[in-house]
Structure 1
Amino acid sequence: MASSGVLLPGFVWFLYLFCFLCSLPLSTCNETENDRQALLCFKSRISGPAGVLASWRNTSLDVCDWHGITCSTVSPCRVIELDLKSEGISGPISPCVANLTSLARLQLSNNSFNGGIPSELGLLSRLRDLNLSMNTLEGNIPPSLGSSHSLTYVDLGVNALTGVIPESLANSPSLLDISLQKNNLVGSIPVVTATSPPIQYLDLSYNHISGKIPSSLGNLSSLIDLLLTENNLVGSIPDSLGHIPTLQVLALTANNLSGTVPPSLFNMSSLTFLGLANNSLVGRLPSNIGYTLPNIQDLILSSNKFDGPIPASLPKAYNLRQLYLYTNSLTGFIPFFGSLPNLEELDLSYNKLEAGDWEFVSSLANCTRLTMLMLVGNNLQGEMPSSIGNLSDSLEWLWLRENQISGPIPPEIGNLKSLRRLYMDYNLITGNIPATIGNLHSLVHLSFAQNRLSGQIPDTIGNLVQLNSLKLDGNNISGRIPADIGHCNQLQILNLAHNSLDGNIPSEIFKISSLSEELDLSHNYLSGGVPVEVGNLINVNKISISDNRLSGNIPSTLGQCVVLEYLDISHNNLFGKIPQFLTSLSSLQNLNLSFNNFDGAVPGGGIFNNTGAVSVEGNHDLCTSIPTGGIPLCSTQVDRKGKQNSSALVLRIVMPAVSAVLLILSCIATIYWRKRMQENPDLKEFSEHMKKISYEDIVRATDRFSPANLIGSGSFGVVYKGSLRLQEDQVAIKIFSLNNYGANRSFIAECEALRNVRHRNLVKIITSCSSVDSNGADFKALVFQYMPKGNLEMWLHPGDLEHGERHILTLSRRINIGLDVAFALDYLHNQCASPLIHCDLKPSNILLDLDMVAYVTDFGLARFVFTTSNVQEGDSTSLACLKGSIGYIPPEYGMSAEISTKGDVYSFGVLLLQMITGQSPTDKNFSDGASLHEFVCRAFPDNICDVIDQTMLEDDSNAQEVIKNCVIPLVRIGLSCSMTSPKERPDMGQVSTEILRIKHVASRMYVR
């Protein structure tokens, strides 16, 4: 019995142990079941492609076998990882995830999760890695995330998060890696205290974070990467950042930082990447920078305000791979970079650097890894050396445009076999295009445009079979277009305009089916017909073959170019009927058939219903069935025997007699009109092609000069709207106040200008009146097409709104108007027989038709370059004060400088800045010597949002992208055009090209 008493307690303990062990599976099952239910709850609110979550079923026994699930290897088996990266899943993140209490890694990146980040995630005490990047999450970052003391990696990048970075997250004691890239976060970076965690990687790039960079970030003594790119940070760079001993990558690019760079930053021997681009930093680069940054590999200091020379020590930073110093104010000679064996990319564009003896090119031959050399927009001058052919075999980009380089293109350029982009445009280069250019078989883009090249296009150009873009426009290249260009079957742009090319257009060109953006052969001496192969260009957007000597009909195959947007075949000798198929080209937006020999009826429908988009003037045998200004109505054809017999009688008997009488009368009339024109020369200007009207006609048209019809007034007269019997549409009648000094000269100048110019964006004159009024005083008036949308001034600065209508100009419309005006000025300056200077460009002289197409008007101050035959002695002095309107007059005119086309460029620059900002240059804010140019320049580019007219971006969902890709480039053009020095202003041809490029960008971004 004693033994039994001893064994009983042991048996009881064994029984307890047995019961405990039996209970373990039940506990494990309960925990596994909790994980199952949490995952099923998470699944219930999301959707994805078929099969992604097919294994997630309530009937599945083991959740550890479900897709994307990893469980622990020790008992009890719990879910420790949930990885559904890049699965195409959408829907909200359910708070049920927080019930996975053993979860250590949550990876949901690159999906379409939406809604907010559940604050319950902060309850996951074992969570180390959290990656919710590249989704569409919104709202604030939950402060509760800082409660999870195990977090070492957080990536919430590329979402739509807002608010501020919670301090609790920044103070998480074990946080090692944070990435919050490309969100819409606002607010300031929270101050990180001395107790901050040992963060090694901190990325807050691509957000809307504002405020200053906290100096306390310098306390993160373990920090390796600090990325704050693309935010709205302001102020100076804290000196404390330069004292982080482990920092290797510092990226502060594209903020609003200002001031000088703290010296400590340029003394960080640990740095391998330093990005300070696109700020407003000032000062000079330290002379010893090459020694104090011995490990630097990428030095990105572009688009700031650094000045002075490039430090001679910089080539001593032997590890440099990328050096970007473009768009600063650096001066002096380009140093020798030949001691940088790892250098791959060198961009020194848009500074004030000089080439000297060009020996720096020889030194670069030692940089055997060089792939990109960008020297655009400096002051290199001189001739390119033959040593340019010794540059790296790896060189892919060589940009030397806008440098006043002279002399020939070295034939050694053909040694650079890896070149893909070669730009030497907008220089003073002479001589022939070397045949060795055909050795560059990898070329994709080639531009020698706007130089002084001569000779012929070498046949070897056909060897460039990978070429996408070939631009040789604006030179003096002669001879025939080589048929071998047809071998360049990847071409999308071919521009040979403004040269002296002759002969037929090779049909091989029209077999390049890849031509999609532009084919421009205008302003040459090409002859023959338009090849029928033009129908092969089924993808082309623009064809311009104007101002040549082409003849024949428009081939019917042109109707196969179904995406054609722009067609200009004006100023040729083409004849026949205007093809009906042009009405079915639904993409066509601009059609210029003017000054040919077309006959018959103008088609109706399609683009011909948009009078502002079509130009057919100068075809004297055209008629129309719909009353249109300047084109006669088509007469009804009669097919009756009596009429036929009468016609035959007229031809046989009556016509010879009538012809003799008319000949006599014609001689008498000629003598009479010659005498009248000698007495009144302004009549001569329009006698050949315009029907005159009388003073009484003007009185009737304006309802006796009724104030209700008055639509404008200026220095030299007033403008009425009215109706003439010879014109069914309403007209605008400009009546000159001849008592005002200069008004008579203004009338003559405007007559002379409008007699010699023809362009779709220049106001078209209908007729004129040079007579006497009811009191016997001289009376002069001009009659124009009436523009129902008024002028640009009333749209930019609306007064009282009529009938509640809001005059809002969207960005798209402003771009179009700017392009219309630029096209008009380019035509006046560069395409007229004698260049014409407008001299009074301003918003009130820009008229808008029903389709908001812009027309330049008021040529009362216009002057032809080198045309003095109609200017009597003393006229130049009398015109000294007639150079434009206050605010738009270029500064050199105030110093009695010669009137030039650069004066119009200045006025256009001011006009463009006014269109973008909504600010008039004569606003009271621009007193005491300030100007609209300076106002915009101070904000450009980082604070440009502060000065632009916000109404043009109203309701634009992608406003930031639009500002970056459209508004800022437009502002850059406006600023360059309105530079004080005429030599620094671009040509209007260049301006037109740039704005056209911006228009294409805007259209792709669906700007309204």
Structure 2
Amino acid sequence: MAAAAVPNITTDESALIALKAQITVDPDHTLMNNWTIGSSVCNWVGVVCGVRHKRVVALNISGMGLMGTIPPHLGNLSLLVRLDITNNGFHGTLPKELVNLRRLRFISVKLNNFGGPIPPWLGALPELQFLYLSNNSFTGTFPPSFFSNSSKLEAINLYGNRLEGKIPPEIGNLQNLKKLVMESNQFTGSIPASIFNISTLEVIAFTYNGLSGEIPQQLGQLKLEVLGMENDGLTGLVPPVIFNISSLTYVSLANNTLSGSLPMDMCHRLPLLEELFLYGNKFTGSLPSSIGNCTSLKRLSLSRNNFTGSIPQEIVKLGLEEVDMNDNSLTGVLPSDIFNISTLKLLSFRGNHLTGHLPPSISGWSPNIRYISLGQNVLSGTIPDSISNASKLYALVLSENSFTGFIPDTLCRSESLSLINFGWNYLTSKSSMSQPNSFNSLMKCKNLRTLIVSYNPLSDIVPVTIGNLSYLEKFWGDNCSIVGNIPGAIGNLSNLMTLSLQDNYLSGTIPATVRQSQKLQYLNLAGNKLQGFIPNTLCGLRNLAYLLLSGNQLYGSLPTCIGNLTFLRNLLVQSNGLSSVIPSSLWDIKDLLVLNLSSNSLSGELPPEIENLNVAYVIDLSMNQLSGELSSSIGNLPNLAEFSLAQNRLQGPIPQSLGSLTSLVFLDLSRNNLSGTIPGSFEKLKYLKYLNLSFNKLEGEIPEHGPFTNLTAQSFMSNKALCGMPRFQVPPCPHTHKRPTERKMLVLRYVLPIASVILITLVLVFVLTRCRKRKARIPNQDNMFLVTTTRRFSYRELFQATSGFTEDKLLGKGSFSSVYKGTLSDGLTVAIKVFDLQIEVLFVSNDQMVLHIEYGSEGIASTKGDVYSYGILLLETFSRKKPADEMFVAEMSLRQWVKESLHCAVIDVIDANMLRRDDEHFTVKEHCVKSIMELAVSCCAESPEERVDVKDVLTTLTKIRVEFLKNTQANTTQVVRI
């Protein structure tokens, strides 16, 4: 028998050539040009050979952008010690032949697209010390057998895969393990106590999983440096022993449901701690003053808890870079020295009850600070000129406080300042007797992207120099007592997306130059004194979604080109002096959600094309001069919840088709010249809460059922020819014939057809019997039953004959009936057919599915019905799941699935093509997506009262966008909400 060939450098060469053959993409042609037969293998790129055997001992082709699969031939590199193919595009599975690499100590396949289960043979590599499988798509459970022969393992990194199930307790057998990283997977259950028997452990990272239970007390036995258990669903108290692990440098227990208070001596034994993240829990109590003993602390985030008391003065002694204590219940004075921490870059105390002032002297401000967020507190005093010493400041949020005085002239000395939010304070304008100049101070911020000064009594004008803010994207100046004209220079803001100057004293006309702001999506000039025509140039704003011009003194007609605004969602121009007819192009805006043209002088008829607005949920055309008859096409608006045509000159009958507006909650047709009867189809409008048909010329009977059971006489007054129930305060109807009741309708719909079938059957039997009697002169004994008389049975007889229609008597069952075998009291055996009259129930059941998707499980249409649909749309878009997906059964719905994941790992429900853990700015993107999903969950709350108002949806999305852009451009990685 021939001896097996001894592996040599030729064997290694063949294995590497096989790998090269499997590579489909080599962007720089590195391997194509370098790995060539005839050249020395040991000189190939990424290949290292041993000195003694001249065999391949290391292969490093990381970061080359390669794509392809790993061939089994790679298992022939029998002397390989190190394999690194990090950061490429390899896919498929790891071949089992790699188990032959018995000398392998280091494997890194991270940042690729490998899938399938973790190969169990990895545990059979006796020399393996470092295993990096992160950022792939491995699935399934972690094989317990993996830990049987892996006693030399020092590091395991499984970050960013799709592994599930419980963490195997056998992991405690790895007594040399130093780093265990299993974050961003789908592990469940509690943390095995056996892990804390590994005395060598330095790093534990279980962040972003679906774990449960409490943090084990045994954790205190370790000499950990890194502890990461963020977003894991953990509960209970934090074991105090954690704060005794003196080797800790990083601790994150954020976004769990941990409770209790922090130990008063928490920092006495943490001299090396640099980063502490406890945000998003339920911690209570005061902040311990011992925090000053964490002398190495650089990043501290305690936001979104229930901490009370004051901020410890000792905190200013630390060399902090980031402090985030948003959304707690902290009180007392904000330490002014905190602004002078020389290393400080980020400071956020938004959403507390802090008092005090900003430091007045220049020495009180660190030049390195970049982000300050102090909104929603009780701070007072002025914004000092000394703030200009913060020369690297890019975001300043002081909204919802009690600041007074002026906006300092020196504010914009920081050239990087891009976000200013002074809204909801008491800032005024520094008047020079002739002209106020609050805005002049802000016009010097050349890099400004977001400016919010709403709800301050500025009494200023918008200066022409606003056109110099070429980077400006958002400008909110609502309710600021702004006077004067809107300058034409506003058109120079080519990046402007939001312009809101609602409820001021602006006069003059809407500048035609606004068309130059082609990115504009939100334009709100409502509640001013603007005059003139609505300029046709607005039709050039192809991205405009919100056009709000209500409560001005505009006149003329709506631009005939209004239909060019195909992205328009809300059009509100009520309470102006508009006249002429509604342009026909308006009905072409098929995605319009809210249309309000009320309180103008519009004339003409409503065309059938109104049905094109089939996603609209609010249409208000009241208090105009519309005439003609109502088009039956109005009934083709399935989402319409509010509809008002009150105080017009409409005439003719109310179309029966309006009864098809199944989402309708509010209907006002009062003060017109409508005639005829009230359509009986209105009884089907089961969500209708408000109906006003008063002051018309209607006649006939007022319906009694459906929504009419809860209506009063006010809905029908001043219609002299109406009659009906006394509670409507109208005369009784002269006739006595009433509409068929539901029971009568049931009889007509089901019983009569069945009775007809039985009657026809009896007639056929009778005819056949007569025919047979004619053919047979002398009937014999076998067919005597044909001439017997028909016998009638009571239900009681049939019930007894079938033993109560039990299953053992059932002969067969069809779609509409069941057949039972019965034995009568006289011994006669009969077949009894029972018809199923509950077919309608099936349709009702299916309707409930539709109602659940459209309105929630309560099936209640409301003014927030469209908010629900929008929420579902967001959930579908970001999760790539449908509400009717087969995974959503019993009590689990798409909303519930997403809601539960928000508390542990939102990335698990996000479309993998939209967000990956290896993305740049992953943390910022994840926070942004999570905020959007939280908004979506709020939108589709089951009860309409719990849903977010549609007016707030855009504001919330805008804030999310602002925050996202801010954080992706920032140098810091800590995410802080404005």
**Do they superpose with TM above 0.5?**
yes
Given the alignment of the two structures, is residue 565 of structure 1 paired with residue 548 of structure 2, yes or no? no
Q: Secondary structure at the match of 1:308?
A: coil
* Bigger Cα displacement from structure 2, 545-554 vs 131-140: 545-554
Structure 1 position 475, deviation (Å): 2.8
Q: Secondary structure at the match of 1:712?
A: coil
Structure 1 position 938, deviation (Å): 12
How far apart, CA to CA, are the structure 2 residues paired with 1:108 and 1:63? Answer: 18
Aligned counterparts, 1:705-716, within 5 A: 709-712=683-686
Structure 1 position 851, deviation (Å): 12
Query: Partner amino acid for 1:626?
Result: P
Paired residue for 2:51? 73
What are the ranges of 5 or more consecutive residues in structure 1 without an aligned counterpart?
A: 1-25, 636-685, 727-731, 749-766, 782-797, 819-840, 855-915, 919-924, 926-934, 1003-1008
CA contact (8 A) 2:243 2:267 kept: no
Q: Secondary structure at the match of 1:398?
A: strand
Aligned counterparts, 1:192-271, within 5 A: 192=170, 195-245=173-223, 247-271=224-248
CA contact (8 A) 1:308 1:330 kept: yes
Match of 2:451 among 456, 470, 474: 470
Q: Give the structure-1-normalised TM-score.
A: 0.67
Structure 1 position 266, deviation (Å): 0.8
How far apart, CA to CA, are the structure 2 residues paired with 1:597 and 1:770? Answer: 30
What are the ranges of 5 or more consecutive residues in structure 2 without an aligned counterpart?
A: 430-435, 611-620, 629-666, 731-839, 872-881, 885-890, 918-925, 965-978
Residues 306-327 of structure 1: CA distance to partner in whole angstroms, max 9, x if unpaired? 1111001111211111111111
Match of 2:127 among 150, 174, 177: 150
Query: Partner amino acid for 1:583?
Result: G
Q: Secondary structure at the match of 2:955?
A: helix
Given the alignment of the two structures, is residue 107 of structure 1 paired with residue 107 of structure 2, yes or no? no
Q: Secondary structure at the match of 1:617?
A: coil
Residues 265-291 of structure 1: CA distance to partner in whole angstroms, max 9, x if unpaired? 110111111111111111111111121
Query: Partner amino acid for 1:335?
Result: P
Residues 398-421 of structure 1: CA distance to partner in whole angstroms, max 9, x if unpaired? 111111334443443333222211
Distance 1:85 1:335, change over 3 A: same
CA contact (8 A) 1:83 1:107 kept: yes
Structure 1 position 846, deviation (Å): 3.3
Paired residue for 2:722? 773
CA contact (8 A) 2:543 2:567 kept: yes
Paired residue for 2:418? 444
Paired residue for 2:40? 62
Paired residue for 1:678? none
Q: Secondary structure at the match of 1:773?
A: strand
Given the alignment of the two structures, is residue 491 of structure 1 paired with residue 472 of structure 2, yes or no? yes
Paired residue for 2:568? 588
Q: Secondary structure at the match of 1:162?
A: strand
Alignment RMSD (CA, Å): 4.6
Given the alignment of the two structures, is residue 966 of structure 1 paired with residue 932 of structure 2, yes or no? yes
Distance 1:521 1:632, change over 3 A: same
Match of 1:414 among 381, 388, 400: 388
How far apart, CA to CA, are the structure 1 residues paired with 2:19 and 2:384? Answer: 68
CA contact (8 A) 2:446 2:470 kept: yes
Aligned counterparts, 1:615-634, within 5 A: 615-623=596-604, 626-627=607-608
* Bigger Cα displacement from structure 2, 260-269 vs 196-205: 196-205
Aligned residues: 757
How far apart, CA to CA, are the structure 1 residues paired with 2:19 and 2:916? Answer: 35
Paired residue for 2:253? 276
Given the alignment of the two structures, is residue 942 of structure 1 paired with residue 903 of structure 2, yes or no? yes
How far apart, CA to CA, are the structure 2 residues paired with 1:510 and 1:402? Answer: 33
Given the alignment of the two structures, is residue 574 of structure 1 paired with residue 535 of structure 2, yes or no? no
CA contact (8 A) 1:317 1:340 kept: no
Structure 1 position 85, deviation (Å): 1.7
Structure 1 position 847, deviation (Å): 7.2
Aligned counterparts, 1:394-409, within 5 A: 394-409=368-383
Given the alignment of the two structures, is residue 481 of structure 1 paired with residue 462 of structure 2, yes or no? yes
Paired residue for 1:883? none
CA contact (8 A) 1:98 1:121 kept: yes
Q: Secondary structure at the match of 1:241?
A: helix
Paired residue for 2:863? 846
How far apart, CA to CA, are the structure 1 residues paired with 2:356 and 2:720? Answer: 59
Paired residue for 1:125? 102
Given the alignment of the two structures, is residue 330 of structure 1 paired with residue 296 of structure 2, yes or no? no
Residues 168-219 of structure 1: CA distance to partner in whole angstroms, max 9, x if unpaired? 4445122122211111110122224664241222211111111221222222
Structure 1 position 691, deviation (Å): 0.8
* Bigger Cα displacement from structure 2, 340-349 vs 453-462: 453-462
Match of 1:993 among 955, 960, 966: 955
Distance 1:504 1:810, change over 3 A: farther
CA contact (8 A) 1:612 1:851 kept: no
Paired residue for 1:427? 401
Paired residue for 1:84? 61
Residues 580-606 of structure 1: CA distance to partner in whole angstroms, max 9, x if unpaired? 433233333333333333344433347
CA contact (8 A) 2:524 2:547 kept: yes
Query: Partner amino acid for 1:966?
Result: I
* Bigger Cα displacement from structure 2, 82-91 vs 432-441: 432-441
Paired residue for 1:289? 266
Structure 1 position 384, deviation (Å): 4.6
Distance 1:601 1:449, change over 3 A: same
Residues 303-357 of structure 1: CA distance to partner in whole angstroms, max 9, x if unpaired? 111111100111121111111111111111111135534211111111111123x
Q: Secondary structure at the match of 1:463?
A: coil
Aligned counterparts, 1:801-880, within 5 A: 801=843, 804=846, 807=849, 843-846=860-863
Paired residue for 2:733? none
CA contact (8 A) 2:340 2:364 kept: no
Match of 1:698 among 677, 683, 686: 677
Query: Partner amino acid for 2:167?
Result: I
Query: Partner amino acid for 1:454?
Result: T
Paired residue for 1:597? 577
Paired residue for 2:764? none
Structure 1 position 148, deviation (Å): 1.2
Paired residue for 1:507? 488
How far apart, CA to CA, are the structure 2 residues paired with 1:131 and 1:844? Answer: 55
Residues 741-793 of structure 1: CA distance to partner in whole angstroms, max 9, x if unpaired? x945xx48xxxxxxxxxxxxxxxxxx986546336957489xxxxxxxxxxxx
CA contact (8 A) 1:712 1:718 kept: no
How far apart, CA to CA, are the structure 2 residues paired with 1:849 and 1:329? Answer: 35
Distance 1:917 1:445, change over 3 A: farther
Paired residue for 1:909? none
Paired residue for 2:137? 160
Distance 1:293 1:713, change over 3 A: closer
Q: Secondary structure at the match of 2:114?
A: strand
How far apart, CA to CA, are the structure 1 residues paired with 2:544 and 2:690? Answer: 43
CA contact (8 A) 2:565 2:589 kept: no
Query: Partner amino acid for 1:292?
Result: R
Match of 2:364 among 387, 390, 397: 390
Residues 546-577 of structure 1: CA distance to partner in whole angstroms, max 9, x if unpaired? 22222223334334423222222233223334
Q: Secondary structure at the match of 2:33?
A: coil
Q: Secondary structure at the match of 2:23?
A: coil
Distance 1:175 1:489, change over 3 A: same
Q: Give the structure-2-normalised TM-score.
A: 0.69
Aligned-pair identity (%): 29
Structure 1 position 454, deviation (Å): 3.3
